[in-house]
Amino acid sequence: MKSLTIDNLDFELMIDHDQIQKRIRLIGIDLNMRYQDKHPVFIGVLNGCFMFMSDLMKQVVIPSELSFVKLASYSGTEQGRLSELIGVGMDLKGRDIIIVEDIIDSGHSLKYTMDALERLEVASISVCALLMKPANLQVTFDNIMYIGFEIDEEFVVGYGLDYNGQCRNLPNIYQHVPSGS
């Protein structure tokens, strides 16, 4: 599919599945070399990371573990403020952590995740994200080690990213095309 429409919003193909897989293979090769003697723990941030994490872990051949977390938000008037990191489910003290994200936008949720993991006394934290919007970053990071693709401020769907819960299952990434473009 070169384009699609969701709830009267038009999207066009931005990054196809083959490009995504090539980039993931390169990231996997580097992770295997960098962490070959460290037995890292990959922490995927749900829901968006599931496709990226699945394909990434197929490229990681070193001994490692994985888990998933989910960020919960306050409801009501505080909506959007992060309140809790749910689901680590294992002792991470002294472990090397690789956070796997679908997209880094403002950086606030990533910062919250990192702060929560640091309180667990981990040895190190690195970040691996499929997409990043550098122009939108409002937080400074020194441990983003892997970025699949840098994009502008486009709204994107597919390959784990959704619009109103739709399109996470698509194998490609599509960008929103404003009306009249």
Residue numbers annotated as active site: 105
Which among 39, 151, 49, 24 has a CA at the least distance from the CA of 99?
49
Q: Identify the burial level of 138 via C-beta atoms within 10 angstroms of its C-beta, where 0-12 means exposed, 13-18 middle and 19 or more buried.
A: exposed
Residue corresponding to tokens 């784990």:
160
| Range 143-150, long-range pairs (CB < 8 A, 24+ positions) | 143/114, 144/104, 145/34, 145/98, 146/27, 146/30, 146/31, 147/104, 148/20, 148/23, 148/24, 148/27, 148/52, 149/15, 149/23
Which CA distances in Å does 10 have to 20, 95, 165, 175?
22, 44, 16, 8
- Whether the CB-CB separation of 156 and 164 falls below 8 Å is answered with no
Residue 148 CB neighbours (<10 A): 24
